Amino acid sequence: MVPKGQSVTLWCWGTREAEEYRLHFEGGVAALKRPRPPGLVDKVKFFIPTMASSTAGQYHCFYRRGELWSEPSSSLDLVVTGYPVPKPELIFQLEHGQQLWTVMIDLFQSTCPGTPVPSHST
């Protein structure tokens, strides 16, 4: 749950070989990003400046290597609330243990054992 008006950063994890990342929202493409610098990073971030009912919903992340796209990440359901609450940092993992993306909403963090905590830079 994210308070109305709060900003949200979505981290999409792939591989260092990923050439492009795609964020899907409710079945459509919401944003595309290319890692900077290419070949040196395995994640990108997508920023939602103001959470609203129009940005609440189901998100998925994909990455591309060459002509091949990855399978989608686990779905993330962002729910907007009408009042401020403390802001957690959440990390999501794929079933096979390969981390594909995270959602960062600041203050404290909740991680699974053995899950790397992302740095705050891309």
Instruction: Answer yes or no: is 121 within a domain.
Output: no
Instruction: Write the DSSP string, 5-39.
Output: T--EEEEEE--TT--EEEEEETTEEEEEE--SSTT
Q: Is 65 a member of any domain? A: yes
CATH number at residue 21: 2.60.40.10
Q: Are 102 and 118 in contact (CB under 8 A)?
A: yes
Let me know if residue 14 belongs to a domain: yes
Indicate whether 119 belongs to any domain.
Answer: no
Do the domain assignments include residue 58?
yes
Residue 73 has pLDDT above 80, yes or no: yes
Q: Report how many domains make up the chain.
A: 1
Q: Is there a domain that residue 68 lies in?
A: yes
CB count in 10 Å sphere of residue 45: 18
Q: Does a structural domain hold residue 66?
A: yes
Query: How many CA atoms, within 13 angstroms, populate the side-chain half-sphere of residue 89?
Result: 17
Cα 109 to Cα 118: distance, rounded to the nearest angstrom: 11
Question: What's the pLDDT at 115?
Answer: 41
> For residue 122, is it within any domain?
no
Omega before residue 35 within 30° of 0, cis = no
Could you report the per-residue pLDDT of 18-66, keeping only the tens digit for each? 999 999 998 788 899 999 888 898 999 999 999 999 999 999 999 999 9
The model's pLDDT over 81-118, given as tens digits with 9 standing for 90+, comes to 886 656 666 665 555 555 555 555 543 333 334 444 44
Q: Which two tokens stand for residue 32?
A: 């595309």
Question: What's the rounded Cα separation, in Å, for the pair 68 and 4?
Answer: 37
Domain that holds residue 26: 2-109
| pLDDT for 121 | 43
